[in-house]
């Protein structure tokens, strides 16, 4: 793969956060034990035909019973940071503090305390896709009441764990939750309501995040001195034909509908990108709607949302070449509103899951784009990884090369482009339940044997490679080419 610049400084800044990430539903298992309530992922995976080979996260990696083994993995890698998520319904089975599950609190207390004892800093995501089913039964993210309910949950977590947790993420990838859960229906709650619910859900998620941030800011920050953000996923996108103005404009829309949808309100001006607003409004009017299908923020809400993040948390996996895609007016959907088609360049390797073309240099370009468009924030790369179809060989040489090349691109972003990158979290610590793909796709630094009831963890070669990079804080005494 071509290298995008000259690597003059091969080490990361002092204090750089070296991490790996997991998510509760993907690793914990224990779906119905010790007082845990069901989540929307429990409900969804128990329906036939939703997941690869009807697999579920009922057991996953059994991290609920094998936390000590996960901790050994974290220590073997030499991580300074570990990103986990709380299962909302393990803590609050009905989604509210009316019923607090003490065994759930004890589980996360133990993880946090063990991490700190071993000098590992926890980064905690409050909700990583697994909304309590009890809240979904009341309308879930479509119901505006979720804003206050999420705020109460966030305050419970800040109050209970915030004396020790100093890095918080409210939501993970709201773009994915809204689009796959309410537009395409391949994630729970499995709704297909094209061009409508996706925007309402995104709207409520932004307000939920902002309200929780303000609660932290006004009630907890002075004493706890932590930081709060949300994890936003984005591709890097470039015009399919750089000489085509249609493709250039389509690329701008692609980035606005993917990253700008959430980043612009929070990091720029409190509102959706102008290009997104005008595009959806024009199509809505032509389709006979009296107003845009994209909800509007009030001035008060804009003021609440703008600046409601203490750092930028980025999940990056892949890139696209973008073509203009003219959409007939009678077709109402998120995709047709965008009028932009993302294409994988045939020269980009796709070693695992079909959507993930490996483009390390795209991350450098995306980091520079965020620096320029989002007021030069401090950035943590909270997910980035390389997939193989499972079961995968422990000699995962392609993944080793991927981590070397990706981390070199980040170094160039830091030292050459002046991007303020504070940390990197590999996805994932473990092979795990990869959503609709079940266990067919493997991202782990550690292999998990899902056929063995002990779920043994074995380090991949890429885990050893990552551990070496961490121990050197970069590429000391190595050629970076």
In angstroms and rounded to an integer, the radius of gyration of the C-alpha atoms of the chain is 21
Closest CA to 10 of 414, 296, 399: 414
Nearest-angstrom CA–CA distance, 479 and 451: 40
What is each CA distance from 358 to 268, 338, 365, in whole angstroms? 29, 24, 14
- 8 A C-beta contact, residue 320 and residue 254: yes
For the chain, give me the number of helices (H) and strands (E)? 18, 15
Helices (H), 308-380: 334-338, 360-373
What is the C-alpha end-to-end distance of the chain, expressed in Å? 10
**Six-digit token pair at 264?**
């612009």
Q: Residue 480's CB: how many other CB atoms inside 10 A?
A: 17
Beta strand pairing call for 312-315 and 227-233: parallel
Residues in the chain: 481
Compute how many other C-beta atoms are within 10 angstroms of the C-beta atom of residue 113.
12
Structure-token pair, residue 245? 């103005």
Alpha-carbon span 153 to 316, nearest angstrom: 27
Rounded to 10 deg, the angle between the 146-161 and 197-215 helix axes is 40
Cis amide bond preceding 428, omega within 30: yes
Which residues, including other chains, have CB under 8 Å from residue 217's CB and lie 6 or more apart? 228
Burial of 281 (0-12, 13-18, 19+ CB in 10 A): middle
Is the Cα torsion angle 181, 186, 192, 193 positive or negative in sign?
Answer: positive
Q: Are 450 and 41 in contact (CB under 8 A)?
A: no
Going from the C-alpha of 14 to that of each of 74, 226, 309, 421, 473, the distances in angstroms are: 20, 20, 23, 12, 8
Q: Which of 136, 238, 383, 409 is catalytic?
A: 383
Of the candidates 93, 31, 92, 84, the residue with the CA atom closest to the CA atom of residue 56: 31
Residue 383 among the catalytic residues = yes
Catalytic residue annotation:
383
């Amino acid at each position: 793969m071509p290298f995008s610049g000259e690597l003059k400084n091969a080490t990361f800044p002092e204090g750089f956060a070296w991490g790996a990430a997991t998510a509760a539903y993907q690793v914990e298992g224990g779906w119905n034990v010790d007082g845990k309530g069901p989540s929307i992922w429990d409900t969804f995976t128990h329906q036939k035909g939703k997941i690869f080979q009807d697999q579920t996260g009922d057991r996953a990696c059994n991290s609920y019973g094998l936390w000590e083994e996960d901790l050994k993995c974290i220590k073997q890698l030499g991580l300074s940071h570990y990103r986990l998520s709380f299962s909302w319904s393990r803590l609050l089975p009905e989604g509210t503090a009316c019923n607090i599950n003490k065994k759930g609190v004890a589980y996360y207390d133990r993880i946090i305390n063990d991490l700190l004892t071993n000098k590992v800093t926890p980064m905690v995501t409050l909700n990583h896709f697994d909304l309590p089913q009890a809240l979904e039964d009341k309308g879930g993210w479509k119901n505006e009441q979720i804003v206050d309910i999420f705020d109460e949950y966030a305050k419970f977590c800040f109050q209970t764990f915030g004396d020790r947790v100093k890095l918080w993420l409210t939501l993970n990838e709201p773009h994915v939750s809204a689009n796959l859960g309410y537009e395409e229906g391949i994630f729970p709650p499995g709704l297909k309501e094209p061009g409508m619910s996706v925007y309402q859900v995104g709207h409520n998620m932004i307000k939920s995040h902002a309200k929780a941030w303000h609660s932290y800011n006004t009630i907890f920050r002075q004493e706890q001195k932590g930081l709060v953000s949300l994890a936003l996923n984005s591709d890097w996108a470039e015009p399919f034909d750089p000489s085509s103005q249609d493709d250039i404009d389509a690329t701008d829309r692609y980035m606005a509908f993917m990253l700008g949808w959430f980043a612009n309100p929070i990091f720029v001006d409190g509102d959706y990108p102008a290009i997104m607003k005008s595009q959806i409004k024009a199509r809505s009017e032509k389709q006979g709607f009296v107003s845009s299908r994209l909800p509007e923020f009030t001035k008060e809400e804009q003021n609440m949302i703008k600046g409601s993040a203490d750092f930028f948390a980025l999940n990056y996996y892949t890139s696209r070449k973008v073509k203009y895609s003219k959409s007939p007016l009678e077709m109402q959907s998120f995709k047709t509103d965008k009028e932009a088609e993302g294409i994988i360049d045939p020269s980009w390797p796709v070693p695992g899951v079909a959507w993930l073309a490996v483009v390390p240099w795209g991350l450098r370009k995306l980091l520079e784009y965020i620096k320029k468009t989002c007021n030069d924030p401090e950035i943590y790369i909270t997910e980035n990884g390389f997939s193989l179809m499972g079961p995968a060989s422990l000699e995962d040489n392609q993944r080793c090369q991927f981590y070397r090349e990706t981390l070199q691109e980040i170094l160039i972003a830091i030292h050459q482009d002046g991007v303020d990158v504070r940390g990197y979290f590999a996805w994932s610590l473990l092979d795990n339940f990869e959503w609709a793909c079940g266990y067919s796709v493997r991202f782990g630094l550690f292999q998990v044997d899902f056929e063995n009831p002990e779920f043994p963890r074995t380090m991949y070669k890429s885990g050893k490679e990552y551990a070496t990079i961490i121990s050197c804080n970069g590429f000391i005494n190595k050629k970076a080419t």
